[in-house]
Amino acid sequence: MSRMYLSAPLPFVGQKRMFARHFAEVARQYPEDSIFVDLFGGSGLLSHIAKHVHPGARVIYNDFDNYRFRLLNIRRTNALLDQIRPIASRFGRHKAITGEAREEVFALLEQEEREHGYLDFITLSSSLLFSMKYKLSIDGMRKEALYNNVRKAPYPDFTDYLEGLEIESCDYRELFERFKDVPGVVFLVDPPYLSTDVGTYRMYWRLADYLDVLSVLPGHNFIYFTSEKSSITELCEWMGRNPNLGNPFENCLRREFNATMNYSAKYTDIMLYTDPSSSNILPDAV
């Protein structure tokens, strides 16, 4: 096997580079003939590491976000950044790109999209937008300030990064159904974190979707990732202490009110209430 990479070649929201060495240590503890199924493959880093520490194991990488297509276009992305770099360098590192320079950058983006029909917006956002801001269109980027975050060196073209992996691209539930009864399977479960921005993922996530992921864990070997910010473990602990609660809102009526805080912040207030005409309501206290 080639050397093990501890970070993905291209930016990806939520890639596990900070966990890379710790994950490798844990993965090594599973048998050599395990089948690692990476349900939320993301950047492929977990799959890459699992295959590296167990070269003989089957590793299934669910590339639902089509990261491999971004990898296929690394050279084109690097060529575009080579054109942007001298424009951005007129400004200090991490400083705003303004005036004519800003329009020059957008002219290059528009030309690239017009001529080739593809832009790696995640990588471009990482290079040109404020830290951790990501937009998936030129129009979206135009609404943001541009910054000189362009790296000095090209992104590495790791041609062997996905070597040996079995690549799928499907809903994680479909992949789970295929492997849930296979002996020796180890599920790698790294879903988008609750209470974090999931705008760059190819799906819309509600609270129920985060909780549905937990149903793949019982009865299987797994390595699961979450964050303190999501409070998911605290929620599970609470559910364990209150197993008979059920759904207290099951028979409630519901009303919603849509509110706007400003041009970009909207929310929905929800009122749930018991039906006053229902026979389940307790009589007034005497």
Query: Residues 42-86: pLDDT tens digits?
Result: 999 999 999 999 999 999 999 998 999 999 999 999 999 999 999
Average pLDDT across the chain, whole number: 85
What are the structural domains of the chain? Answer: 17-68+161-241 (3.40.50.150), 70-147 (no CATH)
**Nearest by Cα to 122 from 8, 4, 266, 5:** 8
Q: Give the least confident one: 21-35, 119-133, 218-232.
A: 218-232
Average the pLDDT over 21-35 and give the result.
92
Q: What is the predicted pLDDT for the residue at 106?
A: 97
Would you mind telling me the total number of residues written for the chain in this entry? Answer: 286
pLDDT-derived band of residue 99, with 50, 70 and 90 as boundaries? very high
Task: Give the rounded percent of residues in the chain with a pLDDT score beyond 90.
Answer: 56
| Residue 258, helix vs strand vs coil | strand
Per DSSP, the residues of 156-185 read: P--TTTTTTPEEE-S-HHHHHHHHTTSTTE
- 222-263 confidence digits (pLDDT tens): 998 877 666 777 777 888 888 887 777 677 777 777 776 666
C-alpha–C-alpha distance, residues 43 and 70, integer Å: 10
Strand partners, 62: 168
